[in-house]
Chains A and B, each alone.
Chain A
Amino acid sequence: MTTSTFKPAVPAQPAAPPARAKRAGRRPGTVAFLMLVPAGVLILTFLLVPIVLTFGLAFTNARLISPQPARFIGFDNFVRLFDSDTFYASLRNTLVFAIVIVPVQSAIALGLAMLINVKMRGVNFFRTIYFLPVVTSIVVVSILWLFLYQPNGLINALLANVGIQGPDWLGNPNTALFAIIVLSIWQAVGFHMVIWLSGLQTIPGELYEAASIDGANPWQQFAYVTWPGLRQTAIFILITITISAFALFSQVNIMTQGGPLDATTTLVFQAVRTGFQQQQTGYAAAISLVFFVLVLVVSLIQRYLTREKDAR
C-alpha cells in the first residue's frame, strides 16, 4: 500500500495573534502564497486536469490505440460496468480491504508508536527497523512476499514446524485477499506509526504525571489522556489510510493479477487492466470516475463523522 500522493497540510494549529500579523503587513502572506504556487500548479496539471479529462473520457469510447477518434457514447460504459461481475468483485474486494486495513493497521501502528515513544538507548534502532518497509519499493516487497507465500515457501515451512499444513496462500480464493492484507499492513504500518508518534509527542508529559498521581492505571491513562490528545492525529490517519487503502493496486498486479477467480481484483487494478492491457481507455475512465465518487463519498462521510462537534 503506497502512501498518498500528495502531502496534506499539518493538522490545524491555533492562528497567530492578529495584532502581530497586522504589523508584519503583507509579507508573510506573499511568502506563503509564493510557496503555494509550485505545489498548486503541479496539483492542477497532474491532478485536477486529468480528473476533468477523465470525466470527459468516461462518456466516450476512447481507445489507447486506434486510428479513429473517440466518439461520445453517453452512459454505455457505465451500463456495461454495472453489468459486469468483475466490477462487483472489485468493489467488494476494495471495500473489504479498506474495512479491514483501516482499524487493524491504525491499531498496530498506534501500538508500535507507543512502544517506541520511550526515551531509552537503542530506540532509534527500532524506529528505523519498523520504518524500513515503508521506504522499500512496494514492487520489491510484493515480489519478496510472493516467494514467501508459495506453497512450499518460507511461511508454510514455518507453519509445518508447528504441525500446520499451510494452504496455497495466493492460489486459494479464500486466503488470497487475506494474504495481501497482511503484507500491505507490514509494508505501510511504519508510516502511520511515525505519524502517531508525532501525535503522541505533542501530549504534555505533565498530564501523565497528573494522571498517575490521581491513581490512574496504564489503561485509564491511555483512555483518558492519550486517546483524547490524539484526536487530530487520529482523524488525519483515518482519512489517509482509507484513501490509500482504496488505491490498492501494485500488490495485486504483481502477485495475483486479480485472481484467483476475482478474489483480489480491485477497482484501480481493473481500471489499469482495461485501460492499458485491453486498450479501452474510455471504459477505464468510467471505472476511475466511479472510484473517484466512491472515495469522495467515503471521505465526506468520515469528515462529517469526525467533525468538531464544539462550535468554533
Chain B
Amino acid sequence: MKPRLTSRLAAMMLVAAVPLSLTACAKGGSSSTSGNEESGGGGTLTLWTHSAGNKNELASIKTIVDDFNASQTKYKVEVQAFPQESYNQSVAAAAAAKKLPCILDIDGPNVPNWAWAGYLAPLEGMDDVLSKYLPSTVGKYKDKYYSYGYFDVALNMTSRKSVLKKYGIRVPTVDEPWTGDEFMAGLKKIKDSGDFVNPLDLATGSTGEWWPYAYSPLLQSFGGDLINRNDYKSAEGVLNGDKALAWAAWFRGLATDKLMPLKSGADPGKDFLNGKTAILYNGSWGAADGRKKFGDDIVFLPPPDFGNGPKIGGASWQWGMSTNCGDNTAGAMEYMKFASTDKYVAMFATSAVAIPSTDAAAATVKGYETGGENDIFRQLSKEFAVVRPVTPGYPFIATEFTKTAQDILNGADPQKALDQAVKNIDDNQEANGFFE
C-alpha cells in the first residue's frame, strides 16, 4: 500500500543519511583553519574585540590597526567587533570549532583559564616592556606573559562634598579611609534625614562579571576571599569562615536596614546624578559625567576598611595572541609589540577615560599626572587593587560567587550558601586536577 512504501523508503533514506551526516560533522570539526580568514598565505590576521557599541575604544583599536598596517606591507590586521555580552561565549564557540582569531582581547580574570585551555600563546620577547606595566594590567600565568591591557579602572565610592559636610561625615583619603563603623554610622545619618531615597547604592541591578568584580573586594576587605591563594586548591575557610560570614551579614544588612536598594535601578549612575543616591559605588568610568553635573563638588573616595584594608577590583580587558595564528604567528607577535608602546597606551587610556598602564603614558595623559584630577584613580588602583584569583578555575568561581552573593542578598542562610559555594568550587578545582 502506498503509505507503507513511502514510509519504508523514507526510513531507508534516513538510515542512509546517518553515515553521510556524521562524516560531514567529523570533517567540519577536524579541519582547523588558522586565523587567516581570507586567502591562505596572504598574511591577513583577524583581530576580535568585545568593544562593539563602544565608539571610543573601537576607534582607538582601529587607529592602532591602521598604523600597524601602514607601517609594513607583509601583514594586514582586520578588526571584527562583537557585543560584550556574548563575547566570551563567541570565543568559546570559536575555540571549540578551532576557528579562533589570531589576535583577540580577553577580560583580565579569564586569561589563566584561556591560557590553560591552550587558546592563548605566550608573548615571547616582551618581558622588559611588560614589566613596566601596572601589575593588574598584565596577564601572567605560570610565569609567562599572555596578555597586556592599556588601562585599568578603579572602583570608588562617589559622593559629593556638600552632602558629606551636611551630615558631618568625614571625607576619607587614601591614607585614612573610613572604617567600617564610621561608614555605617554615616549611612545611618543620611537615612535618618530622609533626604535621599538611597543612602548607598551598590548597583546590585547589574549582572554578570560585575558581581565578582565589585563585591569580592568588599569580601576581601573583611578578610575573606574567593579561594585560598596559597595553592588555589580550596576555598574552605576563606569563603565560608567567620570573616566571610561577617561580610555576608553586612551585605544583607544593608538591604534589610534599607540603607541601599535590594535591586538598584536600571541606571545607578543616573540615580546618583539626579540626587536619588547619596553615595554610589561606581567605577572611574563614571567620572566624566559626574564632573559635568557637579563640578568640583564631586568626590571619589576609597571604599571603607572593614578590617583588612580597603580593596578594589583590578584588571580590565587585555590583548593577547591565540594559538591559532599558524603561519602568521610572527606577524601577530610583531603587532603585539607594535601596539604596546606608551604612545598607544596613552591614546587608548585617554579614549577610555581610564588609568594608563604605564607611568610614562600616565605622565602624558591629561589628568593622570601626579596631582591631576584623575590621579586619585591611579592611587586607588596602586594601593588597593586586588586581582581576581589567578586560576583557570576562575570562570567557575565567578559564577558560583555571583549566585551565592545574590542568594545571600535575597535572604538565604549565609553559612549554608557559602558552604555550598565552597563545596562546588573545591569540587571543580579537584575535578580539573587543580589545573596543573
Contact = CB atoms under 8 A, between A and B. Distances in A.
B118 A273 contact: no
Contacts of B22: 49
A32 B25 contact: no
Contact of A151 (B5, B6, B263, B410): B263
B1 A18 contact: yes
Interface stretch (B11-19, B55-63, B379-387): B11-19
A260 B114 contact: no
B410 A40 contact: no
A64 interface: yes
B14 A260 contact: no
Contact of A65 (B3, B92, B263, B420): B92
B167 interface: no
B414 to A, nearest CB: 13
Interface in B17-42: 17-18, 21-22, 24-25
B9 A65 contact: no
A49 B89 contact: no
A37 interface: yes
A151 B119 CA distance: 43
Interface string A18-44: 100110001011001100110011001
Contact of B399 (A36, A41, A147, A278): A278
B265 A150 contact: yes
Interface in A139-166: 147, 150-152
Interface string B168-212: 000000000000000000000000000000000000000100000
Given A65-B95, A173-B410, A150 B117 contact: no
What 3 pairs across the A-B complex have the smallest Cβ distances? A65-B117, A260-B410, A45-B21
B13 A261 contact: no
Interface string B213-250: 00000000000000000000000000000000000000
A171 interface: yes
Interface in A170-188: 170-171, 173
B398 to A, nearest CB: 8
Nearest to B4: A29
30 contacts: A15-B3, A21-B1, A21-B2, A26-B5, A28-B2, A29-B9, A32-B6, A33-B6, A36-B6, A37-B10, A40-B10, A40-B13, A44-B18, A49-B21, A49-B22, A63-B432, A65-B95, A66-B432, A67-B118, A85-B420, A150-B266, A171-B410, A259-B406, A261-B407, A273-B399, A277-B399, A278-B395, A278-B396, A279-B395, A279-B396
B92 A64 contact: yes
B21 A168 contact: no
Interface of B: 1-3, 5-6, 9-10, 13-14, 17-18, 21-22, 24-25, 89, 92, 95-96, 113-114, 116-119, 207, 262-263, 265-266, 395-396, 399-400, 403, 406-407, 410-412, 420, 427-428, 431-433
B116 A67 contact: yes
A44 B17 CA distance: 8
A33 B411 contact: no
Name A's interface SS.
Answer: loop
Contacts of A257: 207, 406
A18 to B, nearest CB: 7
A258 interface: yes
Contacts of A277: 395, 399
A46 to B, nearest CB: 9
A75 interface: no
Given A44-B21, A68-B433, 13 more contacts: A29-B2, A29-B5, A33-B6, A33-B10, A41-B14, A44-B18, A65-B92, A150-B265, A261-B407, A261-B411, A273-B399, A277-B395, A278-B400
B25 to A, nearest CB: 7
A173 B262 CA distance: 13
Contacts of A292: none
Interface in A274-295: 276-280
Contact of B25 (A15, A45, A67, A273): A45
A244 interface: no
Contacts of B410: 171, 173, 259-261
B82 to A, nearest CB: 16
Nearest to A66: B117
Nearest to B110: A65
B264 to A, nearest CB: 10
Contacts of A67: 116-118
A26 B9 CA distance: 12
Given A29-B9, A171-B262, A41 B95 contact: no
A263 to B, nearest CB: 9
A37 B17 CA distance: 9
A259 B21 contact: no
Contact of A276 (B10, B18, B21, B89): B89
B379 to A, nearest CB: 34
B17 A41 contact: yes
A40 B14 contact: yes
A84 to B, nearest CB: 9
A197 B427 CA distance: 53
